[in-house]
């Protein structure tokens, strides 16, 4: 089995290494008369990589969108960097938005801008700096996520799926955020590319001090880079903790997910 996280965690307790960067309390989200999430609690600590798993259609993306404020909540509060997003003033909210980065599942690059312009967009809108520095930083971010420099002038429609993911991550990292949300970052990548992506996220955590909230189905990512894993099911977080704790957890879905055929094959 891959090495476990560098830090030990106490289940449910505050790890000694960090503050709560993201706190979700009692969140309920529903569409029509169907509740997707009900009274959900979750905490993400500074400088950790949280892997978020759950069956298809259990509302992983819905929770991420609810945290980001894209899907309306029926109840509950979301605190990011200690700032309650419901009561925050416009300025506070803007400050929070500058400090988080989001990688959407489909990349969501602006299709009418080329890759470099996409990465420069948050800098141009939120920061004041010279065009030259903006250009250099955009190229730096581009290379940091492992794209060749000649990808800078390509349009999103000319990129492959993996390149779109990387370019989109570069845009998410443009403002050096403290917290990044990644929605299935390695889905659709080949195993080599996925492993490189995992290493990239880990090294970014180490160099930039990122906190990573990662929705993923990739057992390899969960094993290799996630410090903590949260499992979504039955409209709430079933369990969160280190991989070993989750492997011990007695729930049919969790057992079949982490000890299913594919999971066991990779452990061997």
109 vs 104: CA distance, rounded Å:
9
CA-to-CA separations, 31 to 34, 36, 47, 67, 173, in angstroms, rounded: 5, 7, 33, 16, 32
Pairing outcome for strands 83-84 and 75-80? antiparallel
Q: How, if at all, do strands 179-183 and 100-103 pair?
A: parallel
- C-alpha distances (whole Å) from 183 to each of 6, 91, 112, 122 are 24, 27, 23, 19
Nearer to another protein, 8 or 136 (CB): 136
Residue among 22 and 243 whose Cβ is closer to another protein: 22
Which positions from 187 through 216 interact with another protein, judged by CB under 8 A? 203, 206-209
Half-sphere exposure of 160 (CA within 13 A, CB side): 9
Candidate segments 53-61, 77-85, 187-195, 223-231, binder of another protein by CB under 8 A:
77-85
CB of 140 to another protein, least distance (A): 5
Residue 53 DSSP symbol: E
Using CB under 8 A as the binding rule, the residues of this chain from 92 to 121 that contact another protein are 95, 99, 111-112
Q: Does 144 bind another protein (CB under 8 A)?
A: yes
Tell me whether residue 30 or residue 161 sits nearer to another protein (CB atom): 161
Question: At its nearest, how many Å lie between another protein and the CB of residue 62?
Answer: 23
Q: Considering only residues 26, 82, 148, 260, which one is a binding residue for another protein as defined by CB under 8 A?
A: 82
Chain centroid, CA 48 distance in Å: 11
In degrees and rounded to multiples of 5, residue 102 shows phi and psi of: -130, 130
User: If residue 228 lies in a helix (H) or strand (E), which one and from where to where?
Assistant: strand 228-233
Footprint of another protein on 151-170 (CB under 8 A): 155-158
Q: Which is nearer to another protein, 32 or 132 (CB)?
A: 132
Which residues form the interface with another protein (CB under 8 A)? 19-21, 23, 46, 81-83, 95, 99, 111-112, 123, 127-133, 135-137, 139-141, 143-144, 149, 155-158, 175-176, 178, 203, 206-209
């Amino acid at each position: 089995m891959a090495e476990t996280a560098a830090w030990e965690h106490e289940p449910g307790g505050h790890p000694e290494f960090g503050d709560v960067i993201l706190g979700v309390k009692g969140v309920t989200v529903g569409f029509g008369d169907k509740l997707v999430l009900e009274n959900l609690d979750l905490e993400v600590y500074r400088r950790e990589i949280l892997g978020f798993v759950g069956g298809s259609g259990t509302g992983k993306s819905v929770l991420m969108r609810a945290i980001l404020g894209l899907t309306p909540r029926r109840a509950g509060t979301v605190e990011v960097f200690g700032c309650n997003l419901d009561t925050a003033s416009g300025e506070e909210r803007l400050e929070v938005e500058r400090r988080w980065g989001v990688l959407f599942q489909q990349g969501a690059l602006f299709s009418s801008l080329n890759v470099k312009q996409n990465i420069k967009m948050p800098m141009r809108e939120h920061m004041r700096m010279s065009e030259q520095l903006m250009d250099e930083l955009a190229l730096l971010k581009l290379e940091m996520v492992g794209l060749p420099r000649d990808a800078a002038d390509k349009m999103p429609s000319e990129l492959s799926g993996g390149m779109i993911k990387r370019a989109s991550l570069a845009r998410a990292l443009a403002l050096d955020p403290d917290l990044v949300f990644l929605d299935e970052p390695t889905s659709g990548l080949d195993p080599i590319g996925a492993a490189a992506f995992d290493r990239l996220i880990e090294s970014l955590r180490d160099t930039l001090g990122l906190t990573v909230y990662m929705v993923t189905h990739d057992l390899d990512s969960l094993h290799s880079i996630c410090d903590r894993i949260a499992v979504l099911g039955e409209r709430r977080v079933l369990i969160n903790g280190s991989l070993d704790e989750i492997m011990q957890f007695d729930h049919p879905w969790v057992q079949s997910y982490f000890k299913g055929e594919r999971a066991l094959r990779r452990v061997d």
